[in-house]
Chain A
Amino acid sequence: MKRMSARLIASIVTALLLAALSIILVSAWLVVQGRQLNLEMESKVRVSTQLAVEACIRLLAEGEVLRLRQLADRYAGDEQVVRVMIADRTGQVIADSRREALGTQPPLIMRSFGSRRVLIEKTPEYWTGAYVVYDEIIDRDLGVVAIDFSTVRLEEAQASARMAGLMITLLGIGIGILIALVGVGFLTRPLTMLVQAIHCVEAGEMESPVEATGSTELVEIGNAFNAMVTSVRQRIRNLEILNQMESGLARSADLATSVEVMKRASQSLLNADLYLWIQEPVSRMLMQIGSPGEAPISEPVPPESDFPVARGFTGRPMIMIGEDSDLPPGTEIAGGMTVNSGVVLPLWTPEGMAGVLAVVNPHGRRFVTKEDSALSWAIAALAAPMVAAAVRTQMQGRAVAALQALLIPELPTDTGADVSALYLPAEEAAGVGGDYYDFAEIGESRWGIVVGDSSGKGLEAARYTTMAKWILRSFMHEYENPADVLRQSNRVLAMQEMAEGFITVFCCTWDSAQSLITYAVAGHPAPLLYSALSGDVREVPSTGSALGVTLDATFTHHEVFLNSGDVLCLYTDGITEARQGDEWFSDTRFAEALKDHAHESSREIAEAIIAQVKEFTGGVTKDDIALVVLKAQ
């Protein structure tokens, strides 16, 4: 069943009410009118009868019957008087305008004797007024005058009144319907506009406010709706800002960038500055993190100090600074930072305290509203896990850097060849990859050279790589054949239950005395060899699976003699798989770069290759790059 609109219902109800009101009023009017007409008729009957009586007194006293009959006839000529009877004091009708009752004694006339008022007898056709002819001076009843008044005019007047009532009722109903339609439309127009505005809000259009018109209640509703829309709009904007902040925090590579993101959000939401303190893991001091290019304002804060920042770090929910707040204006929240108005919020995460946030109003406005507090808390709540992650990443980065330092050795100088190596960590990903290279002197004029790329990223990959490096290095000292080194190392790595990763390795020995490269490959990209004689660049043969995958993996070794000027490039896939959109840097570009710069020193060759890769990717490398260039002399 289709639901009726409130306007239609209101119109119908209003029309019915007005119609009912019209009917009631008209009915009341008809009753009053009917009574009025009856009273007028009664009044006419009384007055006319009394006047007739006055004219009859002398004639009745003197027995002027003829003149009484003339009088009766004359009175009966009146439009409403249908009959006049005059009786003598014995009740005998002596004058009758119709002559029928002459000599009779009508009951009404007989009842009139002794009465000093007009008696009225009503029938549907006529009203009879009877009044005794009485001479008060001599105190004698002289007779009775009875007059029949036609009710035709009364009925006509009543019919006219009924017809007028009917017309008024119909008119009232019509006007009622009209008023209902127009009036209710007028009254509900603001509601209609409000509904339209609600639909607009529902569709996301919240720019045009509702025109607050109509009755007081509707104006209040309109104003409240506008205020609500404004509030919702503001909240949506705040949510958008917070969302932007959250996504910005997620994209932030470091804490400084996160602080910058939070500062922008704070400015937008609260028109306030924002400051962040985190705990330095070594010194345990609370250090302010400035945005990029911004120097910290406050001095390091001892966590056990009484500064609000320190107290916030202990877990106190919120410390407000300002008039009538927790702390007065001018409070030094951290060493060297005085605040007149602001709040200090802990950045709490389930793993623990991530830091302390200070939202400071540079204009001195108090943070008093629930909105301010809620927004501050929202910033803190959103920032806490991000800051915690950033701190964690920063800590991991430091650990990785430490590991990386262990993985990237110093370049040896007495290898009998022009050797250079570069390690370029990924630009985007926080942390460190699993790429590395290694040099180990394993005999007289013999050097072991390894380039590896472990699976995964970060601290875990670095740990795995470190482990693999030292395993490989230890077996390089034990076995001369790189294939054996790889086989033994594979066994060791594959047996590591805790190790879930794997590592690809290019392992070779460089015998500078024979200018011989003996190598074995474990799932690693084949190195590029530049032949100075031919000027060509080719891949050296390479077979074998990655280390740590299966226990019984087999590896074969190969030998390559290098002539003077030949260049061997050992690398990880960070070079060939560098991307610009959907296009890879590829072996071809790599080979061309090598070929173009092969006549240069190993250092220049390595830097040129890296430069071309960076140029290709636009400066952002998504994977680690390890590159070893060995140029035979």
Chain B
Amino acid sequence: MEYSDIRNGRNPGVGLRTVAWAGVVLFLIASNFSTECRAQTVTFHHPWVHGQAVMQNLAAEYTRQTGVRVQVTALNPQGYNPWTDGVQPDIIGLSYPNRGTIARNAQAGRLSNMSPDLVQAWYADLWPGPVAVFELSGTEAPAGRPGTYGIPLTAFVRVFVYNREMFRRAGVSPPRTWSDFLLASSRIRGIGIVPMAGGVEGTYPAFPLIYERSYLGNHYLLQTYFGRLPYTDTRWRNQFRVYSEMRQYQLTTVGAAQMTRANAQRFLLDGNCAVILDGPWFESMRRTYRPTFTNWGVFGPPDDRRAPFLASAPGGVAEGVVINSRSRNRAAAVRFIRWLTMPAQQVRLANGMGSIPISEQASQSPALASHLRVFTPYMRYAAQDLRYHEDPAVLNRLYQGARNVIGGTETPAQALNATQRLAR
């Protein structure tokens, strides 16, 4: 357009441009209106079929309180992949996620960083261990943006579940230290039963997780997984001394030790062993398999004072949620998730899910089922699973080595050397 055209009042393009700008404005208004309308419905997909009922109840409650509709959908946990099913929910539920899962999805751009929303008042009431699963460091987070890419809704922890009657008969009390545990196992063995079953099984070797962390801590575990510390290091050898002592004191047998969790539960309920490593799921088995067995209790991992770090119980996230990075209701989704982590909802959620509340206040609530409440004290240092950094084959060899040491077919050095050879 020339200056003279304007001066003469002639502007040949003005009509077309006016229409274009009006279209843009209308689109923005409509888009905003549409967003507001969708904000009234938060979509939430999860794989927790057993918890669908309580989730729907909570969603209905939330709608009543806030007017925001939450559409909860339970998907088949088999092959559950919420990012590829064609539907993009605002909130995505995950079962037993680890940092590896979160990091991969975050790096893929699927997760929204919730750090800006995690105010202190919210964050302070959550068990730190499970939350740490979602806390990605600079190297793990996408484009070097460290942050919290999800929130746990419930947690789990595995501690020692024992038969009180057998302990009474053996004349022992729940041990606090590793040496006490070994002495107690001798006494229990004296009454003709296997002291402990399970814990060194293949899928989730809870027992090694306890003492690996106690002897190596998160740091040296990661150092090992990253290849910076060989499995032949003194720390590992010291840790494997535990398996030798298990054998020496007949704490368990090879067969008992490699029992799956369900078999070990039944083994305990049948009165064949005194101790298993289990979590809140034990109650489910007890109710269905032997509801008359009520004289049971739990104790935390006996602390090996020779180890530099605390013998903490393995634990982590049972049910967690992330916000879809494509969510258009992110703010509403965050508010709903925060609502779910509040103590009142946490009690209902934990009782319904059969898991431990992620809220510390809810964990101490009398309304929480007693069989869950007995596990909550061990959430304080619940150890997250870092094994996703290691090659599963190496880990299999490591735990096989542990079982071999317990069974006496390998020495700790042999087992560790073999593992190390594989790790290379």
Other-chain contact of B213, A62, A89, A140 (Cβ < 8 Å): A62
Interface size on B, residues (CB 8 A): 22
Whether A63 and B219, one on each chain, are in contact in the complex, defined by CB atoms closer than 8 angstroms, is yes
Complex: A68 Cα to B218 Cα, angstroms: 11
Top 9 closest A-B pairs, CB basis? Answer: A63-B217, A88-B308, A65-B219, A63-B309, A61-B310, A61-B381, A63-B218, A90-B308, A66-B219
Given contacts A58-B381, A138-B310, A143-B308, 13 further A-B contacts (CB under 8 A): A58-B128, A60-B309, A62-B381, A62-B383, A63-B216, A63-B219, A64-B219, A65-B217, A90-B305, A92-B308, A94-B308, A137-B380, A140-B310
Whether A61 and B308, one on each chain, are in contact in the complex, defined by CB atoms closer than 8 angstroms, is no
The A contact surface, by secondary structure, is mixed
**B168 on interface, CB distance cutoff 8 Å:** no
**Which A residues are CB-close (under 8 A) to B216?**
63
**Which B residues are CB-close (under 8 A) to A68?**
219
**Which B residues are CB-close (under 8 A) to A461?**
none
- A sample of 15 cross-chain residue pairs with beta-carbon separation below 8 angstroms, ordered by A number, consists of A60-B310, A62-B309, A62-B312, A63-B220, A64-B217, A66-B219, A68-B219, A88-B217, A89-B308, A90-B306, A90-B308, A94-B308, A137-B377, A138-B380, A142-B310
**Do A63 and B213 form a contact, CB below 8 Å, given A88-B308, A90-B306, A90-B308?**
yes
**Which A residues are CB-close (under 8 A) to B377?**
137
User: Considering the complex, which residues of chain B in the window 342-388 have a beta carbon less than 8 Å from any beta carbon of chain A?
Assistant: 377, 380-381, 383
Chain A 48-76 against B: per-residue CB contact (8 Å), 1 yes, 0 no? Answer: 00000000001011111111100000000
**Which A residues are CB-close (under 8 A) to B218?**
62-65
Residues of A within 8 A of B (CB): 58, 60-68, 88-90, 92, 94, 135, 137-138, 140, 142-143
Whether A62 and B217, one on each chain, are in contact in the complex, defined by CB atoms closer than 8 angstroms, is yes
Whether A89 and B217, one on each chain, are in contact in the complex, defined by CB atoms closer than 8 angstroms, is no
**B319 on interface, CB distance cutoff 8 Å:** no
CB distance from B137 to the nearest CB of A (A): 10
Question: Across the two chains, which residue of chain B brings its CB closest to A92?
Answer: B308
Complex: A142 Cα to B312 Cα, angstroms: 12
**B135 on interface, CB distance cutoff 8 Å:** no
CB distance from B382 to the nearest CB of A (A): 10
Complex: A92 Cα to B380 Cα, angstroms: 24
Among B218, B220, B303, B383, chain A packs the most CB atoms within 10 A around the CB of B218
**Which B residues are CB-close (under 8 A) to A140?**
303, 310
Whether A61 and B309, one on each chain, are in contact in the complex, defined by CB atoms closer than 8 angstroms, is yes
Complex: A62 Cα to B380 Cα, angstroms: 11
CB within 8 Å: A-B pair count: 62
Whether B309 and A89, one on each chain, are in contact in the complex, defined by CB atoms closer than 8 angstroms, is yes
Question: Across the two chains, which residue of chain A brings its CB closest to B221?
Answer: A63
CB distance from B264 to the nearest CB of A (A): 25
Other-chain contact of A65, B220, B306, B383 (Cβ < 8 Å): B220
Question: Across the two chains, which residue of chain A brings its CB closest to B311?
Answer: A140
Among A60, A61, A64, A67, chain B packs the most CB atoms within 10 A around the CB of A61
CB distance from A234 to the nearest CB of B (A): 97
Whether B381 and A88, one on each chain, are in contact in the complex, defined by CB atoms closer than 8 angstroms, is no
Question: Across the two chains, which residue of chain B brings its CB closest to A63?
Answer: B217
**Which A residues are CB-close (under 8 A) to B221?**
63
CB distance from B42 to the nearest CB of A (A): 33
**Which A residues are CB-close (under 8 A) to B219?**
63-68
Whether B305 and A89, one on each chain, are in contact in the complex, defined by CB atoms closer than 8 angstroms, is yes
CB distance from A570 to the nearest CB of B (A): 155
**Which A residues are CB-close (under 8 A) to B306?**
90
Complex: A34 Cα to B183 Cα, angstroms: 56
**Which A residues are CB-close (under 8 A) to B303?**
140
Among A60, A88, A138, A142, chain B packs the most CB atoms within 10 A around the CB of A138
Chain B 1-30 against A: per-residue CB contact (8 Å), 1 yes, 0 no? Answer: 000000000000000000000000000000
Among A65, A68, A135, chain B packs the most CB atoms within 10 A around the CB of A65
**Which A residues are CB-close (under 8 A) to B310?**
60-62, 89, 135, 138, 140, 142
Question: Across the two chains, which residue of chain B brings its CB closest to A139?
Answer: B176
**Which A residues are CB-close (under 8 A) to B307?**
90
**Which B residues are CB-close (under 8 A) to A64?**
217-219
Among B217, B303, B306, B383, chain A packs the most CB atoms within 10 A around the CB of B217
User: Considering the complex, which residues of chain B in the window 299-318 have a beta carbon less than 8 Å from any beta carbon of chain A?
Assistant: 300, 303, 305-310, 312
CB distance from A59 to the nearest CB of B (A): 9
Among A58, A89, A142, chain B packs the most CB atoms within 10 A around the CB of A89
Whether B381 and A63, one on each chain, are in contact in the complex, defined by CB atoms closer than 8 angstroms, is no
Complex: A68 Cα to B220 Cα, angstroms: 12
CB distance from B361 to the nearest CB of A (A): 15
CB distance from B217 to the nearest CB of A (A): 1
Complex: A156 Cα to B14 Cα, angstroms: 77
Other-chain contact of B309, A67, A88, A137, A138 (Cβ < 8 Å): A88
CB distance from A214 to the nearest CB of B (A): 73
Question: Across the two chains, which residue of chain B brings its CB closest to A65?
Answer: B219
**Which A residues are CB-close (under 8 A) to B305?**
89-90
**Which B residues are CB-close (under 8 A) to A143?**
308
CB distance from A68 to the nearest CB of B (A): 8
CB distance from A293 to the nearest CB of B (A): 126
Complex: A60 Cα to B218 Cα, angstroms: 10
**Which A residues are CB-close (under 8 A) to B381?**
58, 61-62, 138
Complex: A66 Cα to B305 Cα, angstroms: 22
**Which A residues are CB-close (under 8 A) to B214?**
63
Complex: A62 Cα to B314 Cα, angstroms: 11
User: Considering the complex, which residues of chain B in the window 37-51 have a beta carbon less than 8 Å from any beta carbon of chain A?
Assistant: none
**Which B residues are CB-close (under 8 A) to A65?**
217-220
Complex: A58 Cα to B380 Cα, angstroms: 9
Complex: A65 Cα to B221 Cα, angstroms: 10
CB distance from A140 to the nearest CB of B (A): 6
CB distance from B13 to the nearest CB of A (A): 61
Complex: A66 Cα to B309 Cα, angstroms: 14
Question: Across the two chains, which residue of chain A brings its CB closest to B128?
Answer: A58
CB distance from A62 to the nearest CB of B (A): 5
Complex: A63 Cα to B139 Cα, angstroms: 20
CB distance from A54 to the nearest CB of B (A): 14
**Which A residues are CB-close (under 8 A) to B309?**
60-63, 88-89, 142
Complex: A138 Cα to B312 Cα, angstroms: 10
Whether A63 and B380, one on each chain, are in contact in the complex, defined by CB atoms closer than 8 angstroms, is no
**Which A residues are CB-close (under 8 A) to B308?**
63, 88-90, 92, 94, 143
Complex: A62 Cα to B305 Cα, angstroms: 15
Complex: A58 Cα to B128 Cα, angstroms: 9
Question: Across the two chains, which residue of chain B brings its CB closest to A64?
Answer: B218
Complex: A143 Cα to B309 Cα, angstroms: 8
**Which A residues are CB-close (under 8 A) to B380?**
135, 137-138
User: Considering the complex, which residues of chain B in the window 169-225 have a beta carbon less than 8 Å from any beta carbon of chain A?
Assistant: 213-214, 216-221
**Which B residues are CB-close (under 8 A) to A61?**
309-310, 312, 381
**Which A residues are CB-close (under 8 A) to B217?**
62-65, 88
**Which A residues are CB-close (under 8 A) to B213?**
62-63
**Which B residues are CB-close (under 8 A) to A58?**
128, 381
Complex: A135 Cα to B311 Cα, angstroms: 13
**Which B residues are CB-close (under 8 A) to A137?**
377, 380
Question: Across the two chains, which residue of chain B brings its CB closest to A60?
Answer: B309
Complex: A137 Cα to B128 Cα, angstroms: 15
CB distance from A227 to the nearest CB of B (A): 87
**Which A residues are CB-close (under 8 A) to B383?**
62
Complex: A337 Cα to B106 Cα, angstroms: 143
Complex: A94 Cα to B307 Cα, angstroms: 13
Complex: A608 Cα to B311 Cα, angstroms: 163
CB distance from A159 to the nearest CB of B (A): 43
**Which B residues are CB-close (under 8 A) to A67?**
219
**Which A residues are CB-close (under 8 A) to B300?**
138
Complex: A64 Cα to B214 Cα, angstroms: 11
CB distance from A620 to the nearest CB of B (A): 132
Question: Across the two chains, which residue of chain B brings its CB closest to A66?
Answer: B219
CB distance from A102 to the nearest CB of B (A): 13
CB distance from A269 to the nearest CB of B (A): 106
Complex: A432 Cα to B67 Cα, angstroms: 159
CB distance from A424 to the nearest CB of B (A): 143
Complex: A205 Cα to B300 Cα, angstroms: 111
CB distance from A446 to the nearest CB of B (A): 170
